[in-house]
Amino acid sequence: MPVHSYAEEFRSPGSGADAGIGVLLSHGFTGSPASMRPFAEHLAAEGFGVALPRLPGHGTSWQEMNSTRWEDWFAVLENEFERLRKEHDHVFMAGLSMGGCLTLRLAEQHGADLRGLVLVNPSVMTDDKRLVALPVLKRFVPSLPGISNDIKKPGVNEYAYDRMPLKALFSLSQLWRLTRDDLAKVTQPVMLFRSTVDHVVEPSSGLKILSSISSRDVTETLLEDSYHVATLDNDAPRIFADSVGFIRRVAADA
């Protein structure tokens, strides 16, 4: 199926003093690389090696996404991670929403080979009790109205699906559970950005992460002027600048 132009992947080899650092970025559920593209371009401009892949089923149609599972999304990121490891001395990862969950899962699986994590409104659970019916509902209902463009800044589009594919959502719920169960395995430095007003991911996700990981180097930053897709919102410049500082500091310490 054709990939929409806004969903194009982005890669940069790195240059200058920071060429030894690689950063892998992941977009969120039903979204596309568009939501992380400015972040990726900023990191590339700073000299880091960058990889922003498109997760399977994203950037095409929600119907196609319903034929993919979390293992498919994770496999793409894991392959990019292994490539970055061969090309750079230090590899970091940054994820938005579900991308944050996938980032945590990669950290759980690869330990110190992943040097540090940047999480932007990461999701590892939901307080929505309706999801209890997902195992049955997904057999009869292919999708529900989606939640997209939760952005405070006017005139910005994240280009996410307007429908929520339920088979894919059920798979995401399985990823959430697996990731939550292994959060204690996360020992890497973590920088977590959390919007104080988020209409997609509840505060419980961030609180669960911070209370369960074993990392000693943890920074939480509250974003007062952005909604869920903070990488495209008013606080984006702060996210980008703080992430660069975090990555350079952790790489230097290593």
Closest CA to 231 of 220, 219, 243: 243
Catalytic residue among 18, 198, 233, 235: 198
Q: Is 198 a catalytic residue?
A: yes
Q: For residue 142, give the amino acid letter.
A: P
Q: For residue 126, give the amino acid letter.
A: T
Pairwise CA distance, residues 225 & 246, whole Å: 21
DSSP string, 13-28: ---GGGTTEEEEEE--
Q: List the beta strands (DSSP E) in the chain.
A: 10-12, 21-26, 49-52, 90-96, 116-120, 143-145, 163-165, 190-195, 218-223
Catalytic residue among 90, 228, 235, 243: 228
Pairwise CA distance, residues 81 & 202, whole Å: 28
- Per the CB < 8 A criterion, the answer to whether 137 and 210 are in contact is no
Helix (H, G, I), strand (E, B) or coil at 232: helix
In the block, tokens 């599972």 appear at: 69
Catalytic residue among 12, 26, 35, 97: 97
Pairwise CA distance, residues 210 & 222, whole Å: 13
DSSP string, 215-231: -SSEEEEEESS--S-GG
- Cα-Cα-Cα-Cα dihedral sign, residues 49, 231, 224, 100: negative
Residues serving a catalytic function are 97, 198, 228
